[in-house]
Chains A and B, each alone.
Chain A
Amino acid sequence: MGASALPVLIFTAFWGVVGIVLPFIIPKGPDRGVQQLVLMMTAATCYLFWLCCYMAQMNPLVGPRLNQHTVLIMAREWGNPLL
């Protein structure tokens, strides 16, 4: 399992609050049901979308193949000094 706890927790908590907690504290009104549904579906879709992207990268089957120029630029810009 190549996942780290922090992002998973943060995202789960964030969308959990949106999708589970917020629907309870919506003020009463004629459109309450729709508003609850909107929040829940937003949280569900967005969480699912993030989760899929995260899980798809958890265990990469292949690594990125890079051009030599890209490698050089990455080394300079992203702080991976040449050995």
Chain B
Amino acid sequence: MGSLFRSEEMALCQLFLQSEAAYACVSELGELGLVQFRDLNPDVNAFQRKFVSEVRRCDEMERKLRYLEKEIKKDEIPMLDTGENPEAPQPREMIDLEATFEKLENELREVNHNAEALKRNFLELTELKHILRKTQVFFDEQEGGLHPTESMTRALISDDSIARQVNAGPVQLGFVAGVILRERIPAFERMLWRACRGNVFLRQAEIETPLEDPSTGDQVHKSVFIIFFQGDQLKSRVRKICEGFRATLYPCPEAPSQRREMAMGVMTRIEDLNTVLGQTQDHRHRVLVAAAKNIKNWFIKVVKIKAIYHTLNLFNLDVTQKCLIAECWVPLLDIETIQLALRRGTERSGSSVPPILNRMDTFEDPPTYNRTNKFTSAFQNLVDAYGIASYREINPTPYTIISFPFLFAVMFGDLGHGLLMFLFAAFLVLREKPLAAKKTDNEVWNIFFSGRYIILLMGLFSMYTGLIYNDIFSKSLNLFGSHWHTNYNESTILTNKNLQLNPSESLDYDQNPYPVGLDPVWQLALNKIVFLNAYKMKISIIIGVLHMLGGVSLSLYNYRYFKDRLSIICDFIPQVIFLVFLFFYMVLLMFIKWVSYAPQNDFPKSPACAPSILITFINMVLFKKADPLKNCDTVYMFAGQRVLQKFLVFIALLCVPIMLLAKPIYIMRQQKDKHVQLVNGHATTENGDAEGAGRVVQPPQPHAGGHDENEIGELFIHQGIHTIEYVLGSVSHTASYLRLWALSLAHAQLSEVLWSMVMSKGLILDSWIGGVWLWFVFGFWAILTVGILVLMEGLSAFLHTLRLHWVEFQSKFYKGLGYAFTPFSFEVILNTAATAVEE
């Protein structure tokens, strides 16, 4: 038996590792990825395990690396990904790594801290610069003002009051200037107006360029404002409001000369700051570029160290504290490789004592491990999605590799659509390596890419079935010359709207069929659907019954492998008889009908007397006598058919009680026999050894009896369900295969509709305009073809095929109660880590 037909044989092994060598050994095993460790301290809290502190340190390192990565991404520095896979470093190197990361992180944090302070300073200065510039405009607007505040006063207060105030002496107006977020301005203004009863005067101007918020790094729009008011009370009120709105106030001298001086000072300070900031950024950039070169490498190292310590945490410590004990599942075939890896690990660690790998006996079910390659893994995934096979159960995958694309193609059969699908998959397969290296998180793309071999085969088979259906974008190819001919004179054609060719006339029909697939004439015929329905329904049932028979036959391999002779006799044989005598007989009837009712035949075997297979089958099961068709003397296709059918149905029905009762009754009787023996055995010991009797007799009898009865009851129920499922299933599953016909019909019709509604409209115009028009129409048709016929119809055919495999095929033999083998492998761990980071 090949490798994929059953899951690998597994062994539970005990592994003794020298404490010093454990790390290196586990690291080697991680590179190998063939060992699944079991948790030996399941009740120990995660925080109380032996290597918690190391795991913590790794977590800390990971955190630092993520911080570094975030900073690198922020600066958009490309991270070097050489694709190399460094080995897990020695434990002592961990300290070096930690020190490096610590230094880097501290440096970066310091730089960032400084940069932030500098930026804050820079922001304040810029704001001040803007204030000075804008307020200058406000002040300058009061042309010829003696004193800025005085001129303001004039503007503010009406002439009358000025006159009064002139009498009362000059009034001193105070002002504050500041910067506020632009979106706060309206609320701010309203608040000022209400709180100060309109006794303040606010001027504001927008700062055109957005400023950077140093703490968040966002760009924010701000406005400069200046508020004039009178008196201290108002001043304090205004200040409070400014505080409340988080406006920053800046000192602004009154005298223009002072302002100018200040502006100059601010400008020079900004210049200085800029140079310092530039240097800080340069430094940061240098640090990050250096880190970016190594960061992927570091990530891999840290992830590996962490994985190793996680694994070591699953181990048991020996009493002497000198060695670690592990339990692991190992594929039997790989024990050699694993031992080699362990030896390498020991050598690397410099330890003298070799590790010991012991096989253990166990009653536990081993995990299911199917060794797949890049071609078979996609198919294995289809099967695993339903359920992981029980240990050493027959694996449906090898059979699925062909039956899946074939059933798909029966529904999807179209040479053109199949070709499109094939080309797409061929592109994926040929450019496999570069495409695989370019990891994307586009889910749809990843699904297509991982299923590329399935799609490839589906495309190929669709091309073949399309050739047989003689369908290419709903048109037919006339490769070999149709075997139907028209032999009419002009007047017959002109007087008759429709003409039917006569199959018994050798001028009309060559008397032998078109060699490859359907005759192209059917594509043009008005009664095409009638013909196609009869044909496609029949092949659906033929394929379905064979598929199911295949499934039932596979159950024989299971029974034989598990040495279950009882099930072969009580389950398998009646199941096969039931299926063959009823449904395979129907398939045979179809072939007989195809062969025996030739068009030239006379009356008993003429096409007019051909009975419907379905009606025949229904009458057969119901033991009903059917009336022959008009002018025909019998409904039967061959002599003795009636007796044969009665016999077949009788035997098939007889199989039902056998399936239902034989196995449980046999087991029950067997147990009774055992029981009797057991009781007899007890009796003899009691007689023989009177003293010890009291001790021996106590436990089993009443308890065990009740238990057995329960078990037997369960067995009956289980068998009953199983039988009902099988018998009813045979009927419903056979009918379920009619979806092959239904989907194939729908697909063909849809593509025909698309042709006649869209593409043929592009062929009605002459001259060059017709060419342009056709160009557009073809584009539309092509989009719909790919979008609806290939993608959507393909998806629906795919799902139906999946169902036919999961339900109709696998229910005949597949238990799927196992659990998957999940080896400790760095490759898997790194991949999951990579996807987690991307998310």
Interface residue ranges, A against B (CB under 8 Å):
1-4, 6-7, 10, 30-34, 37-38, 41-42, 45-46, 48-50, 52-68, 70-72, 74-75, 78, 80, 82-83
Contact = CB atoms under 8 A, between A and B. Distances in A.
Contacts of A54: 513, 515
B406 A74 contact: no
B288 interface: no
A49 B468 contact: yes
B262 interface: no
B493 interface: yes
B499 A71 contact: yes
A65 B594 contact: no
Contacts of A1: 595, 598
A49 B519 CA distance: 15
B2 A64 contact: no
B517 A53 contact: yes
B607 A52 contact: no
B498 interface: yes
Contacts of B489: 82-83
Nearest to A45: B406
A74 B514 CA distance: 16
B486 A74 contact: yes
Contacts of A50: 468, 516-517
Given A2-B513, A65-B498, A70 B524 contact: yes
A52 B4 contact: no
Contacts of A34: 2-5, 376, 398, 401
A3 B513 CA distance: 7
B392 to A, nearest CB: 16
Contact of B501 (A31, A38, A66): A66
B535 interface: yes
B308 interface: no
Contact of A41 (B403, B522, B531, B591): B403
Given A53-B518, A62-B531, A71-B499, 15 more contacts: A1-B598, A4-B515, A33-B1, A33-B398, A37-B2, A37-B398, A53-B469, A53-B535, A56-B538, A61-B607, A65-B525, A66-B486, A66-B524, A68-B497, A72-B493
**7 shortest A-B CB distances, which residue pairs?**
A33-B2, A64-B525, A7-B515, A57-B513, A63-B501, A41-B402, A61-B607
28 contacts: A7-B516, A31-B3, A31-B373, A34-B2, A34-B3, A37-B398, A41-B401, A41-B403, A48-B542, A49-B406, A49-B410, A49-B539, A52-B535, A52-B542, A56-B534, A56-B539, A57-B518, A59-B597, A59-B598, A59-B607, A61-B607, A64-B522, A64-B531, A65-B526, A65-B527, A67-B526, A82-B488, A82-B493
Interface in B486-508: 486-490, 493-494, 496-503, 508
Given A2-B512, A67-B497, A42 B517 contact: no
Nearest to A56: B535
Contacts of A61: 503, 597, 599, 607, 610
B528 interface: yes
Contact of A37 (B399, B503, B515, B526): B399
Contacts of A71: 486, 488, 493, 499
Interface string B228-241: 00000000000000
Contacts of B357: none
Contacts of A70: 524
- Chain B's interface size range is 35 or more
B530 interface: yes
Contacts of B539: 49, 52-53, 56
Contacts of A48: 542-543, 546
A61 B502 CA distance: 9
Contacts of A49: 406, 410, 464-465, 468, 539, 543
B484 interface: yes
B478 interface: yes
B524 A62 contact: no
Most buried by B among A48, A56, A63, A64: A64
Given A2-B513, A38-B402, A63 B376 contact: no
B478 A78 contact: yes
A65 B502 CA distance: 9
Nearest to A8: B515
A56 B527 CA distance: 15
A11 to B, nearest CB: 8
Contacts of B514: 57
B260 interface: no
A62 B503 contact: yes
A61 B596 CA distance: 11
A58 B593 CA distance: 11
A5 to B, nearest CB: 9
A48 B461 CA distance: 13
A26 to B, nearest CB: 11
Contacts of A31: 2-4, 373, 376
Contact of B4 (A6, A33, A53, A56): A33
A57 B399 contact: no
Given A33-B1, A52-B542, A75-B486, A66 B398 contact: no
B521 interface: yes
B481 interface: yes
A45 B402 contact: yes
Given A63-B500, A64-B528, A3 B594 contact: no
A40 B320 CA distance: 59
Given A2-B598, A56-B535, A63 B486 contact: no
B722 interface: no
A58 B595 contact: yes
Contacts of B501: 63-66
A74 B546 CA distance: 39
B280 interface: no
B509 interface: yes
B468 A53 contact: yes
Nearest to A75: B486
Contacts of B531: 60, 62, 64
A6 B3 contact: no
A75 to B, nearest CB: 5
A77 to B, nearest CB: 9
Contacts of B500: 62-66
Given A55-B591, A62-B527, A78-B478, A68 B499 contact: yes
Contacts of A57: 513-514, 518-519
A51 B625 CA distance: 33
Contacts of B594: 55-56, 58-59
Contact of A32 (B2, B486, B511, B518): B2
Contacts of B542: 48, 52
Contacts of B607: 59-62
B485 interface: yes
Interface in B603-634: 607, 610
A3 B478 CA distance: 19
